[in-house]
């Protein structure tokens, strides 16, 4: 488990402050924005239904690097532990995606 | 280091290394008529190989240099331990193969560190890439270092000790929902490479992801691996060596022997034994019994293959 030390606390405080400052401007969008976690080689949730204009952020919580790739649509860099990748969906449609390092890992974003 | 108590500090470094080597409980496997048979632990196994000289080569795999998570905070350190063990072997192997995942994140410094340690064996090393060696943006660091004289994404073949060795690449161009992949170009090359070879010549295929289906639920297999195996079907003796799954697994099917090696970095769970194939955290005292190297001995003119698995510590 991660233990909280002073440095972490300092960072968290800094982020909280930044979030507080940014909140008014981004509030409307933030309500729509969604997250996908990678835990134990699985995209969670494996399928998301979202509205056009939504930003999805993937976070790798495994000790092994993963990628997020949708052929011809988007491709993340290799995400090491706790790295994030965000993509804003501006067109409706079904976006199948997978991890190019572990192709048995697949997910779907349905945009309407 | 090895966790063994060496008593006073008057013990020489050489002595310590010897102790580390012989503390291993590696097993010598001899495969006769398709049946694997254990000949005993590392001490007697080493003696047996020394008594019956043949061509010996080593397999090392999944070094993951750069990995620093709880399962093993120092993957470079355990690689160095493996290299020390290799250097302490009584009989020097002819050469070594590395079945991929040399690095964890394909960073230049990780390749540099791996090279610095592995080169201390002073052995000729034949590499194939793992998926972790191919994640730099332009996929060029592995190829610049190890790709010279190879075809396509890095496949090649060579002869040694009367055996035909073929290094294959099954970690590129992976398809959503799929397994490891060799691809049409590589399979065509393989067919060509084998054309005209005497069927009595032993063949060793080596690649990162197992060419046989170990556990598709975790992606442990190669989509078109069966097509490669089809091409070597007619040969009298075929050995398939892989890494990727960080544990020893063996299977004999007709004239084909399959074997996967341990990692020098961190263990992974047995198929289905955990929620994911991710790094397995074991007690520190147990870690080194789950890491190690494999040495393979060919006895000339015999359809017999001996594999000695040597954990870093028994
Ligand atoms: Cu992955």
> Nearest to residue B40, comparing CAs of B52, B32, B29?
B29
Return the pLDDT at A8: 37
* Residues B296, B57 contacting (CB under 8 angstroms): yes
* Between residues B129 and B294, the one the model is more confident about: B129
Could you identify the residue written with the tokens 């709880």? B70
Name, in order, each residue with C-beta under 8 angstroms of B51's C-beta and a sequence gap of 6 or more: none
Separation between Cα atoms, residue B167 and residue B149, nearest integer Å? 12
Contacts of A80 in chain B (CB under 8 A): 105
Beta strands in chain B (DSSP E): 27-32, 35-41, 55-60, 95-98, 125-127, 156-160, 163-167, 203-206, 238-242, 249-253, 256-260, 292-298, 305-311
The Å distance, Cα A103 to ligand 1 centre, comes to 7
For the stretch B31-68, pLDDT in tens is 333 333 333 333 444 545 544 455 678 888 999 999 99
Residue B244's SS3 state is coil
> Nearest to residue B295, comparing CAs of B279, B311, B284?
B311
Return the pLDDT at B200: 85
Return the pLDDT at B260: 86
Contacts of B178 in chain A (CB under 8 A): 103-104
Separation between Cα atoms, residue B221 and residue B181, nearest integer Å? 9
ipTM: 0.77
Integer-rounded Cα Rg, in Å, for chain B is 19
DSSP one-letter string for B28-69: EEEEETTEEEEEEEHHHHHHHHHHS--EEEEEE----BT--S
Integer-rounded Cα Rg, in Å, for chain A is 15
Neighbours of B129 (CB within 10 A): 30
Q: Is A96 on the interface with B (CB under 8 A)?
A: yes
Q: Is A83 on the interface with B (CB under 8 A)?
A: no
Contacts of B71 in chain A (CB under 8 A): 63
Angular region, A93: left φ>0, alpha ψ -120 to 50, beta rest: left
For the stretch A67-93, pLDDT in tens is 999 999 999 999 999 999 999 999 999
> Nearest to residue B19, comparing CAs of B120, B88, B117?
B88
Could you identify the residue written with the tokens 């340690």? B117
Determine, for residues B105 and A80 on separate chains, whether the beta-carbon distance falls below 8 Å. Answer: yes
- The model's confidence at residue A6, banded by pLDDT at 50, 70 and 90, is very low
The Å distance, Cα B290 to ligand 1 centre, comes to 23
């Amino acid at each position: 488990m991660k233990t909280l030390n002073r440095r972490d606390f300092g960072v968290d405080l800094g982020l909280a402050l930044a979030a507080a400052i940014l909140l008014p401007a981004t509030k409307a969008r933030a309500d729509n924005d969604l997250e996908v976690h990678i835990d134990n080689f699985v995209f969670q949730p494996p399928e998301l239904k979202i509205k056009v204009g939504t930003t999805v952020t993937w976070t790798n919580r495994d000790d092994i690097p993963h990628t997020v790739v949708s052929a011809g649509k988007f491709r993340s860099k290799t995400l090491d532990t706790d790295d994030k990748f965000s993509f804003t969906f501006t067109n409706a449609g079904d976006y199948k995606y997978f991890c190019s390092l572990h192709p048995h890992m697949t997910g779907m974003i349905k945009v309407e | 280091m090895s966790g063994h108590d060496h008593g006073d500090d008057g013990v020489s470094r050489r002595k310590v290394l010897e102790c580390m080597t012989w503390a291993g409980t590696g097993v010598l496997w001899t495969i006769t008529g398709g049946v694997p048979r254990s000949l005993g632990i590392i001490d007697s196994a080493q003696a047996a190989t020394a008594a019956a000289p043949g061509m010996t080569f080593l397999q090392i795999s999944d070094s993951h240099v750069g990995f620093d998570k709880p399962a093993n905070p120092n993957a470079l350190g355990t690689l160095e331990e493996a290299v020390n063990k290799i250097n302490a072997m009584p009989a020097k192997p002819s050469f070594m193969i590395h079945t991929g995942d040399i690095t964890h994140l394909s960073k230049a410094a990780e390749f540099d560190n791996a090279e610095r340690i592995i080169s201390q064996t002073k052995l000729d090393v034949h590499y194939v890439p793992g998926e972790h060696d191919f994640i730099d943006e332009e996929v060029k660091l592995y190829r610049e270092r190890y790709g010279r004289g190879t075809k396509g994404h890095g496949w090649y073949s060579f002869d040694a000790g009367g055996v035909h060795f073929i290094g294959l690449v099954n970690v590129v161009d992976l398809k959503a929902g799929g397994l490891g992949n060799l691809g049409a170009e590589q399979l065509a090359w393989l067919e060509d490479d084998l054309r005209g070879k005497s069927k009595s010549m032993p063949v060793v295929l080596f690649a990162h992801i197992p060419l046989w289906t170990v556990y598709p639920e975790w992606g442990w297999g190669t989509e078109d691996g069966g097509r490669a195996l089809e091409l070597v079907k007619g040969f009298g003796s075929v050995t398939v060596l892989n890494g990727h799954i960080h544990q020893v697994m063996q299977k004999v099917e007709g004239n084909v022997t399959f074997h996967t090696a341990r990692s020098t970095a961190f263990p992974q769970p047995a198929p289905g034994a955990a929620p994911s194939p991710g790094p397995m955290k074991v007690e520190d005292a147990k870690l080194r019994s789950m890491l190690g190297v494999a040495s393979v001995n060919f006895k000339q003119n015999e359809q017999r293959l001996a594999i000695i698995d040597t954990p870093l510590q028994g």
